Amino acid sequence: MNFDKIDREARKILRRNDRGGYTVPTAGLYPYQWNWDSCFAAWGFSTFDVKRAWFEIHTLFTGQWDNGMLPHIIFHKRADGYFPGPDVWDVPRVPHTSGISQPPVAATMIRSIYEADKRYGRVHMELIYGRLVSWHRWFIKNRMERGMIAITHPWESGRDNARDWDKAMANIDPTGVGEYHRRDTDHVDPEMRPKKEDYDRYLKIVYHNRDCGWNEERIAKTGLFRVADVGITFIFLRACRDLLHIALELDHETAEIEGWIKDLEAGVENHWNPKGFYDSVDLKTGEFTDSLSSASFFEWYSGMSGDRMLGHLNRILDEVKFGVPSNDPEDEHFNPKRYWRGPVWGMVNTLIGIGLDEQGHIKTAERLRKETQELIAEHGFYEYFSPLDGAPEGGDVFTWTAAIWLTWAG
């Protein structure tokens, strides 16, 4: 393995996907700034260009709404090739944005960027701190239920067609969405993407929430989809811990954040499915989703220390060559090709690996890191891979795959 060469390639990908202040996940398939992709990009940039890393964070936050919400896509410039674009979301602000959010990794990534160069980063950290707090407050005010964090659209989870959403999606009647032209399948093999029945419902939810004027209270009352996402609860809990750390460092009040952490720690228990794993919960029916997905393994990353997922983790790592797959290989719907229903994602492995390492599971963390390293070194900087044989899948020259190579896997 020629590490120097792969490092250079990873840096080149970040530069190549840079559109002048913001980084697209990959050219063609995703031509805008995506929320959590952008945070990974900034973390990657911080290994060789900390100024550019902070620039990424500032452009991301130009999309923040007055109510604190940080949208999942910021449409800085018109671009072809992605659907649904700004006209469909119809959010009356500039820059145009989508109307939903995404996994809040920002506080965690920003803490790392700050720590890469505190002297340079101090003023940026001061500038962005209040914005981070208001985004976190938005989650608490609008999305916290029984200490868990709810999503109103599968796209908010960042795991679009995960098994977690199957039952809730089946309860949505997609009639009336009309004709539309998906663009993702122009770029990628349709076998690797969500199905039409998924897209019909994705759009149905967008149209409904748009008709609610993107008003969170109306959406909470009338929305078609409301699921407590185990992935976001864990990621948000971790982000609150990092926000607390930043608050202490900058000498800000901490009581409010400490309260959030307590509530979330209690809420994690509500994600525990008595069948023996952390799970998402459909808030419209009160039922567990009965899906053991890669997000269940953010237990360690969240800072919870029960080791409750360790048995499943060891089993799954032995069942596939490249862990951790987005869906349990023993699940009847496991599909090593179709997006979040089986493939393995480098950035997911990274979050799981960081948590394992922090909690003393050094060997397992190292195994996961080596497997991710091999995937990228052998197969390239793809969006995701088959966990069975490492076959590359989805988009190529992918930003967050390059970023995690530079920060963790390489």
Query: Could you give the residue numbers annotated as active site?
Result: 160, 383
Contacts of 241 (CB under 8 A, 6+ apart): 261, 303
Kindly state whether residue 32 participates in binding ligand 9WN, applying the rule CB under 6 A. Answer: no
How would you classify the pairing of strands 272-273 and 384-385?
unpaired
Residue among 10, 31, 37, 200 that touches ligand 9WN (CB under 6 A) = 37
Residue 295 CB, nearest approach to ligand 9WN (Å)? 11
By beta-carbon proximity to ligand 9WN, the closer residue of 138 and 384 is 384
State the helix-helix crossing angle for 35-45 and 3-16, rounded to 10 degrees: 130
Separation of CA 70 from chain center: 13
Cβ closest to ligand 9WN, residue 34 vs residue 260: 34
Stretch that binds ligand 9WN, among 1-9, 31-39, 241-249, 271-279 (CB under 6 A): 31-39
Task: Please give the backbone phi and psi of residue 229, each rounded to the nearest 5 degrees, phi first.
Answer: -90, 115
Of 31, 47, 57, 72, the one binding ligand 9WN (CB under 6 A) is 72
Q: What are phi and psi of 272, to 5 degrees?
A: -80, 110
Nearer to ligand 9WN, 147 or 158 (CB): 158
Contacting residue, 13, 17, 22, 25, with ligand 9WN by CB under 6 A: 25
> Which residues in the 102-161 window bind ligand 9WN by CB under 6 A?
155, 158, 160
36 forms part of the interface with ligand 9WN (CB under 6 A): yes
Pick the closer one to ligand 9WN by CB: 184 or 229. Answer: 184
| Cβ atoms of residues 238 and 230 within 8 Å | no
Q: Which of 13, 22, 28, 34 binds ligand 9WN (CB under 6 A)?
A: 34
In Å, the largest CA–CA distance within the chain is 56
Contacts of residue 277, defined as CB under 8 A and 6 or more positions apart, other chains included, come to: 292, 296, 308, 309, 312
x-marked contacts with ligand 9WN along 179-218 as a string, rule CB under 6 A? -----x----------------------------------
Residue 86 sits in the site that holds ligand 9WN (CB under 6 A): no
Q: Mark out the alpha helices in 223-309 (DSSP H runs).
A: 230-250, 255-268
Backbone angles phi, psi at 53, to 5 degrees: -60, -45
Q: Minimum CB separation from ligand 9WN for residue 155, in Å?
A: 4
Residue 100 to residue 31: CA distance in whole angstroms: 18
30, 54, 129, 384: residue in contact with ligand 9WN (rule CB under 6 A): 30
Stretch of residues binding ligand 9WN (CB under 6 A), selected from 7-15, 33-41, 47-55, 296-304: 33-41
CA distances (Å), origin 397, targets 199, 249, 382:
25, 36, 6
Nearer to ligand 9WN by Cβ, of 100 and 313: the residue is 100
**378's tokens:** 């052998």
The CA dihedral of 124, 125, 127, 131, to the nearest 10 degrees, is: 130
Which of the stretches 29-37, 114-122, 225-233, 287-295 binds ligand 9WN when contact is defined by CB under 6 A? 29-37
From the CA atom positions of the chain, what is the Rg in Å? Answer: 20
Q: Are 114 and 239 in contact (CB under 8 A)?
A: no
Report CA 31 to chain centroid distance, whole Å: 17
Q: Least Å distance between CB 402 and ligand 9WN?
A: 12
Nearer to ligand 9WN, 98 or 407 (CB): 98
Of 155 and 405, CB closest to ligand 9WN: 155
Burial class (CB in 10 A: 0-12, 13-18, 19+), 304: buried
What is the closest distance, in whole angstroms, from the C-beta atom of residue 384 to ligand 9WN in the complex? 9
Is cis: bond before 324, omega within 30 of 0? yes
| CB closer to ligand 9WN, 25 vs 392 | 25
Q: How many residues bind ligand 9WN (CB under 6 A)?
A: 10
CB 305 within 8 A of CB 278: no
- Residues in contact with ligand 9WN by the rule CB under 6 A: 25, 30, 34, 36-37, 72, 155, 158, 160, 184
